[in-house]
Chains A and B, each alone.
Chain A
């Protein structure tokens, strides 16, 4: 009995399953292509393209948090920190922020940097303007570094205590940025005023291909969608490869039993730090992209509710499952930005009522989560491991029941 349970827990991929998997990936790609071209509904309706883009951004965030929470089992309530670093990196390197000359008094200047590199910004807008494609790497680097810095002191902590400390970081960082307009007399974050406008994304040599513009204009959601789709796909691929590799198995060993993992020779510190760093990269990339689609980085945007929404996405989709995280991110974002309003409008139209469903948003979130926990606690798409565990558990239970009955 016991040996068969262990066998079941081994990852196995029979040939038939492989075919099914490739068909599945192909189907997802087809749907991903259909969305902007046929399924999206312009500015109103159930699926505006802007919401689709936001869904993809949040799916990326969910993928990142899934590595920390789902794979390594470290409950992180401060994911907003990585989003913040990504967005501010884009703001710093893709705007006029570092050309701080007071227009009312030109002698009053702190930074007067004017540096353009492969940017879409016009030459007469001063400041630091670097190509989005380079900034993405800087943002990923800064976020990963932030992940290490935040991760390092929390390594000794477990479960609830870890959650509290990460929650603290998530609350402190926005306050630091809010007050960062006077760091020993230097303005580093522009405080409450926010930084903007952020430059647009240039497509460089890709614009020679048909249908791809040289610069993604603010209303060109289709191209933005393809850009974020590429990031999502890359991160999904990386997540799956990491999960099945040495590091991923080490993460899961820590998740299941930290003490046992360390006795088996898993270097706890290094492995945990890796999970923070890799998870943070998705936050940084997503944050930088978000800054370009909104056009402004505003400190009021980085709230605790962001961390909660991303965590909800991961739990709803299925902790530890890559596809689940994506699905959870899409579902919650759609619900948040379009779904509730659209459903409300349909209800009001159908029944002649005037209910504002949006006001009950958190109530719905809570209800959905309670129902999920009652009837499907492992999420929409459970991780393969929890599915197998549950099956094994059922067998143990039935044997025990049989034993008790006899």
Chain B
């Protein structure tokens, strides 16, 4: 009676073996569909931020190789950005692209005699909800292959940078310059883990710089602040078991010991746990007076903060809460009641301080708001603009080739104070680290991150 329709044949087969095979197919596919639906539900709740790149990808991609290599006057060069445009960091990345475009636009689209366009790259995949290593490898090779590209602004994640730097370093026409606005892992420029940093520079020439201070300094700033200003004695140091989190937590722990704080417990939190009450209950007996969250908020940070408060008491009470910049720039954290009165260190100065300081930094933040209708979603957007300014200074001094631009970048050039979007003259040293090491302590108050004080680091 159901004859003819393929669906009924496959579902209603009388043959035993046949039925078994289709049952298995159906089970497997039902499972897959269910998983796919769950994943979609998780992935699609991010609000979409539309970016309007001033340069536009097609225009940038259309420029031919001739300009990039000959260095003739008026040649068109491309600065590419390499950011995770999907997942939890999408908002910060979108605004970083906005800021980069704005800073190029404000310079009249010119660096010296070269006209500049911006080409955004995405190093994330939706499936991962963040940066993807294969995509980073692809982007790195694409930067090298696209002859009009002169330098790269990025990446956001240090892990991605460690994949891209060796590829750019071995560019036959380079090495190619890369300047990051957000990589805080020390190992990229400093002797940190075995083989670092030399293993990222196979040709022996440094081609990487950053305009932000590293995690080791951020951990020290957090620990020194805790010891001197908060006068805490016993700290619990947590990490999220990822590269950044482990690095910044161990930097905090070692600086804390030096500053006279006892580290009573170190532990990793599992981002997949529904709650952390048991974790914090375990610390109660140790009588800590501070908890340090080494990690990023993406790893279930809000739940962690909630449970810290529910078990160990409010952040204004005996147990203080300190976190690194992995918790800055998240509106959801800022609005969380339990997150109020937590301290956050930030490797750099927040937008609010730039505005207060006046000058070029304040003007840039104001211009950003005028153009895009909101403040930058993350202070990293400003540092993205700073990195672009530095790249443009290198291009202006260089000869229009990748090699020449790189040499200019490491020749001690700086972005002058009257132009710098971070309000201070800055450049990079021989290792590639930024010459200005601003570190700030922020306090969560009234649903915003408020600047508490600058913390000098040596």
Q: How far is the CB of A191 from chain B (nearest CB, A)?
A: 7
Please indicate the chain B residues that have their CB under 8 angstroms from the CB of A244 in the complex. none
Q: Which residue of A lies closest to B131 (CB)?
A: A300
Using CB atoms, name the residue of chain A closest to B242.
A192
Contact call A257/B48, Cβ cutoff below 8 A? no
Q: Does B59 contact A (CB under 8 A)?
A: no
**Could you tell me if A365 and B1 are in contact, using CB atoms closer than 8 angstroms?**
no
Q: Report whether A363 and B36 are in contact in the complex, using a CB–CB cutoff of 8 Å.
A: yes
Q: Mark B128-157, 1 if CB is under 8 A from A, else 0.
A: 100011111110111011100000000000
Q: Which of B162-170, B280-288, B309-317, B421-429 binds A?
A: B162-170
Contact (Cβ within 8 A) A196 B126: no
Given contacts A96-B195, A218-B141, A219-B144, contact A359 B24 (CB under 8 A): no
A37 within 8 A of partner (CB): no
CB within 8 Å of B: which A325-381 residues: 336-337, 354, 356, 358-363, 365-366, 369-370, 372-375, 377-378
Distance, CA A351 to CA B166, complexed state (A): 40
**Residue A276 lies at the interface, judged by CB distance under 8 Å to chain B:** no
**Main secondary structure on A side of the interface with B:** helix
Count, chain A residues at interface, CB 8 A: 86
- Find chain A residues with CB under 8 A from B135 CB: 337
Expressed in whole angstroms, the minimum distance between the Cβ of A213 and any Cβ of chain B is 13
Decide: B134 and A359 in contact? CB cutoff 8 A: no
Determine whether the beta carbon of B33 is less than 8 Å from that of A366: yes
Q: Is B70 an interface residue (CB 8 A)?
A: no
Residue among B10, B16, B136, B192 with the highest chain A CB neighbour number at 10 A: B10
Inter-subunit contact B40/A315 (CB<8 Å): no
Contacts of B418 in A (CB 8 A): none
Interface string of A270-282 (1 = CB under 8 A from B): 0000000000000
Residues of B within 8 A of A336 (CB): 125, 127
Report yes or no: B32 in contact with A396, Cβ–Cβ below 8 A.
no
- The chain A residue with its CB closest to the CB of B134 is A294
Report the minimal beta-carbon distance from A101 to chain B, rounded to whole angstroms. 6
User: A327–B6 Cα gap in the complex (Å)?
Assistant: 23
A89 within 8 Å of B (CB atoms): no
Determine the main DSSP class of B at the interface with A: helix
Say yes or no for B20: interface residue by CB 8 A criterion. Answer: yes
Question: Which partner residue on chain B sits nearest A291 by CB separation?
Answer: B133
Residue from A163, A179, A193, A377 in contact with B193 in the complex, judged by beta carbons closer than 8 Å: A193
Cα A62 to Cα B170 with chains together (Å):
33
Residues of A90-129 whose CB lies within 8 A of B: 96, 99-104, 122, 125-127
A307 to chain B, nearest CB (A): 10
Contact of A43 with B by CB under 8 A? yes
A42 CA / B36 CA spacing, docked (Å): 31
Q: Is A305 an interface residue (CB 8 A)?
A: yes
Contact with A along B19-62 (1 / 0, CB 8 A): 01110111111011101110110011010101000000000010
CB distance from B248 to the nearest CB of A (A): 12
Q: A336-B125, A377-B22, A398-B3 are in contact. Are A362 and B27 (CB under 8 A)?
A: no
B318 interfacial contact with A, CB 8 Å: no
Tell me how far the C-beta of B66 lies from the nearest C-beta in chain A, rounded to whole angstroms. Answer: 17
Q: Which residues of A contact B32 (CB under 8 A)?
A: 308, 311-312, 315, 365-366, 369
Q: Does B243 contact A (CB under 8 A)?
A: yes
- How far apart are A394's CB and chain B's nearest CB, in angstroms? 6
A197 in contact with B166 (CB, 8 Å): yes
> Is B108 an interface position by the 8 A CB rule?
no
> Chain B residue with minimal CB distance to A293?
B137
Given contacts A256-B20, A256-B21, A359-B43, contact A217 B170 (CB under 8 A): yes
A102 to chain B, nearest CB (A): 6
Instruction: Evaluate contact between B199 and A256: CB separation under 8 angstroms.
Output: no
Query: Please, which residues of chain B bring their CB within 8 A of the CB of A233?
Result: none
Chain B, residue nearest A111 (CB): B194
The residue in chain B whose Cβ has the minimal distance to the Cβ of A372 is B29
A392 within 8 A of B: yes
**Which of B14, B27, B40 contacts A366, CB < 8 Å?**
B40
Contacts of B200 in A (CB 8 A): 197
Question: Knowing A362-B43, A377-B26, A404-B1 touch, does A50 contact B242 (C-beta < 8 A)?
Answer: no
Bound Cα distance from A361 to B128, whole angstroms: 11
- With beta carbons under 8 angstroms apart, the residue of B28, B146, B162 that contacts A315 is B28
Which A residues are CB-close (under 8 A) to B194? 96, 99-103
The digit string for B222-263, where 1 denotes a CB below 8 A from any CB of A, is: 000000000000000000011101100000000000000000
* Cα A335 to Cα B274 with chains together (Å): 33
Which residues of chain A come closer than 8 Å to B27, judged between CB atoms? 75, 159-160
Check A365–B36 contact: CB distance below 8 A: yes
Docked Cα-Cα span, A401 to B3, in Å, equals 7
Q: Which B residues are in CB contact (< 8 Å) with A305?
A: 39, 127-128
A349 and chain B: residue at smallest CB distance: B58
Which residues of A from 151 to 196 have beta carbons under 8 Å from B?
Answer: 159-160, 163, 178-179, 191-194, 196
* Across-interface contacts of A96 in B (CB, < 8 A): 194-195, 199
**Best-surrounded residue of A42, A389, A398 (most CB of chain B within 10 A):** A389
Cβ-closest chain B residue relative to A99: B194
Query: Nearest Cβ in chain B — how far from A196, in angstroms?
Result: 6
Query: How far, in whole Å, are A366 and B162 apart by their CA atoms in the complex?
Result: 34
**Which residue on A lies nearest to B197, using beta carbons?**
A103
A296 within 8 A of B: yes
> B40 to chain A: which residues have CB within 8 Å?
360, 362-363, 366
- CA–CA, A356 to B25, complex, Å? 32
Contact flags A289-311 to B (C-beta < 8 A → 1, else 0): 01001111010110101001101
CA distance A255 to B126 in the complex (A): 35
A390 touches B133 (CB 8 A): no
Q: How far is the CB of A130 from chain B (nearest CB, A)?
A: 17
Expressed in whole angstroms, the Cα–Cα distance for A127 and B146 within the complex equals 34
B106 interface hit (Cβ, 8 Å): no
CA distance A51 to B138 in the complex (A): 9
Interface residue? B278 (CB, 8 A):
no
Contact, CB under 8 Å: B145 / A219: yes
A404 to B3, CA, bound (A): 12
A294 near B26 with CB under 8 A, answer no
A54 in the interface, Cβ–Cβ < 8 Å?
yes
Q: Decide: A393 near B14, CB < 8 A? Known: A54-B134, A196-B162, A256-B21.
A: yes
Contact B35 A393 (CB under 8 A): no
Give the contacts of B1-17 with A (CB-CB under 8 A): 1-3, 6-7, 9-10, 13-17
Q: Which residue of A lies closest to B239 (CB)?
A: A192
14 A-B contacts (beta carbon < 8 Å):
A43-B146, A73-B24, A99-B195, A197-B199, A218-B170, A221-B141, A256-B17, A290-B134, A296-B159, A305-B39, A311-B32, A358-B86, A373-B26, A401-B3
- Besides A196-B163, A309-B127, 7 more A-B contacts (Cβ < 8 Å) are A43-B142, A103-B193, A256-B17, A256-B20, A337-B125, A360-B126, A373-B29
Residues of A within 8 A of B (CB): 42-44, 48, 50-51, 54, 69, 73, 75, 96, 99-104, 122, 125-127, 159-160, 163, 178-179, 191-194, 196-197, 217-219, 221, 255-257, 290, 293-296, 298, 300-301, 303, 305, 308-309, 311-312, 315, 319, 336-337, 354, 356, 358-363, 365-366, 369-370, 372-375, 377-378, 386, 389-390, 392-394, 396-398, 401, 404
